Amino acid sequence: MRIAILDDYQNVARDLADWDSLGAAEVTVFTDHVADRDELVRRLAGFDVVVAMRERTPFPEPVLARLPDLRLLVTTGARNASIDVAAAARHGVVVCGTGYLPHPTVELTWALILAAQRHLPTEVAAMRAGGWQSTLGTGLRGSTLGLLGLGRLGSQVARVGQAFGMRTLAWSRNLTAERAAEHDVTAVSRETLVAEADVLSVHLVLSERTRGLIGAAELAAMKTTALLVNTSRGAIVDEDALVAALRRGEIGGAALDVYEHEPLPADHPLRSLPNALLTPHIGFVTRDVYEVFYRDAVADIAAFQAGTPTRVLTP
C-alpha cells in the first residue's frame, strides 16, 4: 500500500503518529502545496491512499476520475467541503474523516482580537527597532461582541468575551432566542448584529448559503471603528469588498486567519493594508490537534486495510 500525506507544511506527520503500525506500507510526505490539477494528478499517480490536510487540496470529480489507483481518501477533520464525496463514491474511493479539537481556533480568535485592538504588530516592531509607545489601544470591557454563528466555536468565543466584560450578540439562520440564552447571549437579526458589533467574529460553516455572507452592504453597515475577525472560512467574507472597505476606512480593521485562496498569494492586496492583521490559517495548527488528525488517519487506514472502514463520510 502506497500512502501520500499532503500539505504537511511543518513536516511533522511522521513524528505525531505510528505509521510503522501499518506494516509494509510506503508512506510519502509532501510538504509543499500543489495548486495545479495536472501536477497534482501526476504527483498522486500510483498511490492507494491519500491523507489530505483539511481543505488545502481540493478533490473534485475531474481529479478523482484521473486517480484510478486511489482507494482511500482520509481528510483531517469531520468534514471537507473541498472533497466531492459523491464523486469519490462513484469512483470507488472511500472517504474517511478524523477527530478534531475546537479550542485552538477559539484561542487564536482571541489572540487576533487582542493583537488588533492593542496594535501589537506595530508595537512589537517598534520595540525591535528601538522605539517606544506609538499607538493608542482599544479596550474590550463594555464593548459589543457580535458572533456570526453560535455553535461549538462561537459559544466558546462568547464565553471569553463575557469574561472580558463584553456584551454578546449572535445571529445565525437557525439560532433561537432560547438557544442563545443558554449561553447568556442575545439573539438578534443579522442587520442588528452587523450594525452594533464593535468586534464581529465569523464562526459559520462554509456553504452555498454562507458564501459571501459578509459583502459590501454589510461592511458599509458596520461601525467605522469595528473590527472584523474571520477564523472560519475565507469565502464567507467577500474578499474584494473587504479590501475596498479597508482601503476606504469604512471599518476599523480586519483580523484574518482564512482566505478565499490559500496559501494567500504573495502579491495579494490584503498583505499591504496596514489595518489588516493576517495569520496563515493556523487556527487549528497546534500539536494537540495534529496528534488527533494523524493518529486518527493511521487508525482509518488500518480499519480500511482490515475491511472495516471507520468514520466514513457520505454524500
For the annotated catalytic residues, the residue numbers are 233, 262, 281
Cβ atoms of 102 and 112 closer than 8 Å: no
DSSP one-letter code for 264? P
Closest CA to 195 of 158, 177, 169: 169
Give the C-alpha separation, 95 to 83, whole Å: 9
Give the C-alpha separation, 85 to 91, whole Å: 10
Three cell numbers at 118?
492593542
The secondary structure element, H or E, covering residue 305 is: helix 287-305
Give the C-alpha separation, 64 to 294, whole Å: 22
Distance spanning both ends of the chain, measured CA to CA: 26
The overall longest dimension of the chain from CA atoms, in Å, is: 63
Give the C-alpha separation, 13 to 175, whole Å: 38
